[in-house]
Amino acid sequence: MTVHYIVSPGGALEGRVRVPGDKSISHRAVMLGSIADGITRVRGVLEAEDVLATLQAFRQMGVIIEGPTSGRLTIHGVGKDGLNAPSAPLYLGNSGTSMRLLCGLLAGQPFDSVLTGDASLSRRPMRRVTEPLRQMGAKLETTPEGTAPIRVFGGQTLQGIDYRMPIASAQVKSALLLAGLYASGETWVEEPAPTRDHTERMLSGFGYAVWRAGRRIGLAGGGRLHGCDLDVPADISSAAFFLVGASIATGSEVLLEHVGVNPTRTGVLEILRRMGARIEVLNLRQVGGEPVADLKVAYAPLRGIRIPEDLVPLAIDEFPVLFIAAACAEGETILTGAEELRLKESDRIQAMAEGLQTLGIDAQPTSDGMIVRGGKLTGGEVDSHGDHRIAMAFAIAALRAQDTVEIKDCANVNTSFPGFADLARQLGLKIEVVQRG
């Protein structure tokens, strides 16, 4: 049996909601809290399958973690050198963040470990992480294709490096910084473009010195982390579905509460505003080192744009639903410089282009993006390819469709946004969740 969404056409989104906690920050809170000295208390953690996979991995390595209960965790940190060898492979489900960051953190441990994942994660490229880690002295083995399972050999002597990333990637940067905690000397990472900086911010919050010099981020090995209290903001990647939904559906007005608006994550706001969206940032404040705000969005006619390439890394996870905005906009939207989208949970460029074409939209995939010509969405059956963000994006598309939209293979929505269908229904989306044989 597989989970399908059946979404009736039309309607509007109205109301105020708080979407679940930020996935990127939740992962890092579990990881850093586990290797800190003392207790770390976390509020607002995302109780989704990806984060639970990270949590389970650290439990397998001997960390006592209470919860999650109503978004709260209490992590009894074991210190930077206190993890134990797991008795079995660490299964990380669909979570690329877990696997890539753990490669860095485990590279400095005295014990061997094996990282595995589901079929989707086992197809995703890992050389971008394993190759620079090997330059630091780490020993890792992958399949001949450079994919999981990954064996990380312990007891290696790591040396800090100065690494210039060929492609902007917060996961690669974070993996190298985590390995740098265990390396002798300094580890520096230079980004070709800004990427999300949650790791740097959180390391500082745990009392670990992190240096920034333009697009270079560095730290010295050998320090300690100290337990602290963390408040995880609502995830802007999850909020993005309702930002687009309210923008495309006549009569909509939604207030999204307590959303993280870290400047390395707000590309979706800038892109939508350039398309003509009406989005207000209200009650801007700092919570646990992260900027947070309430986002008010109302319907507005959208227009196609050429998306600036410098905004691509700042909105990389939001493009599936941004393609829906483009389909509902007047004129042509052109995306370039987004090759990374082909290496996510699915090939998001191809999968979104095929789904949009099924719904009557002129969408032409390119090697590094897409050209979308706005038009009228029909109805039909689209395949999410087991990708949570594609499933939710096409559910939102039904707001402007002329007939029912059925989305296949939606179970993986639980990796990032448990309760999506209920929350969307509360705001006015006509969505049903069904089982298909």
The verdict on 191 and 306 lying in the same domain is no
Given 171, 202, 231, the domain boundary residue is: 231
The verdict on 110 and 254 lying in the same domain is no
**pLDDT tens digits, 109-149:** 999 999 999 999 999 999 999 999 999 999 999 999 999 99
**pLDDT tens digits, 372-397:** 999 999 999 999 999 999 999 999 99
The verdict on 112 and 194 lying in the same domain is yes
Q: What is the pTM of this model?
A: 0.93
Domain containing 276 — which CATH number?
Answer: 3.65.10.10
Is residue 55 within 8 Å of residue 32, measured between CB atoms?
no
Domain hosting residue 15, numbered range? 2-21+233-436
The pLDDT, as a whole number, for residue 343 is 87
The verdict on 300 and 357 lying in the same domain is yes
Q: Is the pLDDT of residue 424 over 90?
A: yes
Share of the chain above pLDDT 70, in %: 100
Q: Is the pLDDT of residue 98 over 90?
A: yes
State the pLDDT confidence band at 287, using cuts at 50, 70 and 90. confident
The verdict on 63 and 130 lying in the same domain is yes
The verdict on 265 and 406 lying in the same domain is yes
**424 to 230, 242, 243, 295, 355: CA distances (angstroms):** 27, 8, 12, 16, 21
**pLDDT tens digits, 225-278:** 999 999 999 999 999 999 999 999 999 999 999 999 999 999 999 999 999 999
Domain count of the fold of the chain: 2
CB atoms within 10 A of CB 411: 17
The verdict on 372 and 387 lying in the same domain is yes
Q: Is the pLDDT of residue 288 over 90?
A: no
Which H/E stretch holds residue 128?
helix 127-135
State the pLDDT confidence band at 437, using cuts at 50, 70 and 90. confident
The verdict on 291 and 380 lying in the same domain is yes
The verdict on 192 and 257 lying in the same domain is no
Is residue 422 within 8 Å of residue 17, measured between CB atoms?
no
- On average, the pLDDT of the chain sits at 97
The verdict on 309 and 222 lying in the same domain is no
The verdict on 427 and 398 lying in the same domain is yes
Given 206, 231, 256, the domain boundary residue is: 231
The verdict on 200 and 241 lying in the same domain is no
Active-site residue list: 317
The pLDDT, as a whole number, for residue 371 is 98
**pLDDT tens digits, 315-338:** 999 999 999 999 999 999 999 999
State the pLDDT confidence band at 37, using cuts at 50, 70 and 90. very high
Q: Which of 427, 432, 380 shows the shortest CA–CA distance to 410?
A: 432
